[in-house]
Structure 1
């Protein structure tokens, strides 16, 4: 993932906070088997210290690719919007001279995958995930041999993705003048389509932290 200096995360806490703020769905990418294209699997995940926890159906073909090469990437994107050219025109130039772009936040993890097949370990992984996604509980015990989840465990495999490298990108025109970025956030809020509102919030957050960009 290419990252301009002005799009880089300001510190680790920035991307960690962004992930913790409900960005828990991404794309697992594994190298393809010889002669095959790379594989990409959309899935929820849970953070466990320096690892990501995932579970997938046993028939998923990605398992063969992971077993052949456990080095994988996991990419999370969000808070994205298309920015029309006129919004980005330089002051004093025709609006039609503005070049459109995309705003987005993205965190890409390079990981080493470990497959989890032992029933007790799989149940523990599911308990950790449910503690995140359904913290109020309201579900049957997740234990091997105990219905209903116990009989479902053979149908899934767990995956621990130990993170070895992180690249984080917050692409919100931080190299543009503060006034222009603030106005773009206003335009996004007024347009109010899809993820315009959270995109505007990210831009204003970066404006507050970055101010005028200095190389």
Structure 2
């Protein structure tokens, strides 16, 4: 992911609709949004035209995303048969009230909308069951989400026999980052006064999700 994405020579139409004003292409920003997302949505083609969907944490591993599925989840078998998937990562998001816009008092031609950040990652998937690789995957995931705690838990804190038994119940996945699409819809299409009104309205909200969206607007 050194340049933000790999380019598939036979890339299909984009999976994410992105008007030019909301397009994000900075590799550092995209990587930051992926790393900050705690839970991804993994999707792939399923039977009868209905996608298979699994919410799961994924961790960056160089130019790959690393994670695991429950062995009882048939999604991994579908991936083994058709090894390609798309992962969705959501960042800040918030409802935008027309009342935030100064232009509402001027002409009233305003409607509600939603501000949000989203990144999609598409690529080939490797399914693996090797115990050593599974242990490495769960250790990376655990380390990522335990960091910052006063007393972080580690996989090695559990009895080795117990951990080995738990690993038998999961299947690892490694998704090659071939195509990355980023969208940051943060009122860039509004006038400067309207955009500032949205930022101030969200920043004053009691909902931490709204305040996070205001901070995303501050970051540009």
Post-superposition Cα deviations, 1:61-91, rounded to whole Å, max 9, x if no partner, equal 2123212211110001121111122334647
CA contact (8 A) 2:56 2:67 kept: yes
Q: Following TM superposition, by how much is the alpha carbon of 1:137 offset from its aligned partner in structure 2, in angstroms?
A: 4.8
Return 170-179 or 104-113, whichever deviates more: 170-179
| Matched residue SS, 1:86 | helix
Q: Following TM superposition, by how much is the alpha carbon of 1:166 offset from its aligned partner in structure 2, in angstroms?
A: 0.1
User: CA separation in 2, counterparts of 1:191 and 1:140?
Assistant: 39
Return 168-177 or 61-70, whichever deviates more: 61-70
Q: 1:8 aligns with which of 10, 20, 23?
A: 23
Which of 1 and 2 has higher RCO (CA within 8 Å, sep 6+)?
A: 2
Cα-Cα RMSD: 2.2
CA contact (8 A) 1:84 1:99 kept: yes
Q: Following TM superposition, by how much is the alpha carbon of 1:181 offset from its aligned partner in structure 2, in angstroms?
A: 1.0
Partner in structure 1 of residue 90 of structure 2:
77
Q: Following TM superposition, by how much is the alpha carbon of 1:194 offset from its aligned partner in structure 2, in angstroms?
A: 4.9
**Corresponding position: 1:138 with 2:150:** no
User: CA separation in 2, counterparts of 1:182 and 1:146?
Assistant: 54
User: CA separation in 2, counterparts of 1:182 and 1:10?
Assistant: 24
Alignment coverage as a number of residue pairs: 202
Q: 1:101 aligns with which of 113, 119, 124?
A: 113
Flag the 1:77–1:138 CA change in 2: closer, same or farther, 3 A: closer
Partner in structure 1 of residue 128 of structure 2:
116
CA contact (8 A) 1:104 1:199 kept: yes
User: CA separation in 1, counterparts of 2:17 and 2:28?
Assistant: 20
Partner in structure 2 of residue 19 of structure 1:
34
TM-score (norm 2): 0.83
TM-score (norm 1): 0.85
Q: Following TM superposition, by how much is the alpha carbon of 1:199 offset from its aligned partner in structure 2, in angstroms?
A: 0.3
CA contact (8 A) 1:86 1:99 kept: no
Flag the 1:14–1:138 CA change in 2: closer, same or farther, 3 A: closer
